[in-house]
Structures are given as C-alpha cells and as structure tokens.
Amino acid sequence: MRYFESFKNINSPIIFTCEHASSSIPPEYDNLGLTKNQLERAKDLFDPGALDLAIFLNKKIPSSLIYPLFSRLFIDANRNIGSSNYNNKHHAPALKTELLLDDNLIPIPGNLDADEALRWNEYVKPYYSYVKDLSQSLLEKFDNVYLFQIHSFYPEYGGEIRKEDIGIIHNNLEVAKKIIKEIDGLEVGDNKPWGMKAVGGGVFHNLDNINVIGIDVNNKHLDSPNNIGNILCKVLKNL
C-alpha cells in the first residue's frame, strides 16, 4: 500500500511537502468512529487548499513534492511520537484522541485505544524516511537544501481570530527572515499565528543542515491558489 505520493527532482535543492494534504482515513478504520457529518464539520481533518498550492508551486519552481495520503486525524505526519498534548488547539500529539468540533472537544473513538507508535511507524515513518533520505542526498549536490512545508489554517479556530495572511514558521533561519521581508502586499507572521515550538517542532525539525521552513497560508486566500502562489514563486525563485 502507498502511504505517500512523491514527485522527485534530484536536480533541484527545493523540496515541497504537504503533511496535511489528505482527508482520507483507511477504510478498515471506519472513519475512526466519527460520523460523516462530524468529519465534514471538522477543521482538523486536513488543510483545505494546501495541496493545490503545493502542486502549483511544484509546477512553477523546479522542485520535489512529497505528501502523505492519510488524514492528520488518523495520524499526524507533522508530529513526532510522544508529542505532548499540552495545547490541543495546536494538535500537538501525533495521535489525537480529541477533536475540536463547534468549540467543544469530543472524543475520537477510533484513536482512544490505538497504539501511537505502531500507527506512526507504519504510516508516517516511510514518509519521513523518504523525505530525509532525499534531503540528505541533495546535500551532496547543493550547498543549501530547502524544505518548505505547505500548510493552511482557518481564519477563525476555537474562538481565536487569526489575522495573518501567511505565517512563516522557522527556527531562527536567516533565509526565512529574507523571505518574510520580500513578501509584498500581505500580512506576514514571523512564527505567527504560531511557532515551531507550538507544534512540537514538526516532524522534520531535526534534519541536519536542511533549511526547514513552514509556509502556513490563511485558507481564505486559497479558493484559488494562483495569487498567493505567484507571490511565493517570485520570492522563492530568488533564494
């Protein structure tokens, strides 16, 4: 079974990923015990518009694109095993046991007794290992390798208003600061509406010598990804 999609370009130092691209839950897990209506209303199922943006960027900029084929509710491909559940609004655990629905937390029945490490190792680890191996191989060809994680967020979540148009999420990287300065016409958050620490550092935070940067777009802009996509293309082509 294929757990991720890959379009590899070994002649470019740029990798785009989209950890929350899919709304799919393996059929044998019976929607994790949630109803169809609950899943349709859930803001944590996937990142609307993020995959379309990642595909747009991949077509416009020589790059690789890799993304999982399963929902973040099933197992979050941007969290490590054992991520603490100190802030549910930031979806910290890899295996969530609660879902924020209509401002109330409800249990996810199919995750309550699940083995986080077992599910992570089966689904996330192959994806993580593939991206890691690709990034390390690119380091043999290029002085700098850039891994851009493409995500989206809702303008309102759990009563919190998020005013940023784009959040650039990073660990004090100079190239991220350069990108922030060069994005025109939008309100750009420097590690806002959250930073790397708020999501446990993300699954790729420990990749050696790789510039890992999250690009988190307010999904009110993503009915069509072209406008945001063209703005980002202009900046990322000048790395």
Q: Which two tokens stand for residue 204?
A: 């790729």
Asked whether the predicted pLDDT for residue 2 surpasses 90, the reply is no
Contact call for residues 48 and 159 (beta carbons, < 8 A): no
- Average of per-residue pLDDT across 3-10: 98
Asked whether the predicted pLDDT for residue 112 surpasses 60, the reply is yes
- Tens digits of per-residue pLDDT, 217-238? 999 999 887 889 999 999 999 8
- Please give the Cα distance from 5 to 232 (Å, whole number): 23
- Average of per-residue pLDDT across 149-155: 95
Question: DSSP characters for 152-174?
Answer: EE-SEETTEE---SEEEE-SS-H
How many independent structural domains does the chain possess?
1
- Please give the Cα distance from 134 to 8 (Å, whole number): 8
Contact call for residues 99 and 118 (beta carbons, < 8 A): no
Contact call for residues 179 and 231 (beta carbons, < 8 A): no
Asked whether the predicted pLDDT for residue 84 surpasses 70, the reply is no
104: domain CATH number? 3.40.630.40
Residues 104, 50, 146, 66, CA torsion sign: positive
- Tens digits of per-residue pLDDT, 38-49? 999 999 999 999
Domain that holds residue 16: 4-236
- Tens digits of per-residue pLDDT, 160-178? 888 999 999 999 899 999 9
Task: Return the percentage of the chain with pLDDT > 90, whole number.
Answer: 74
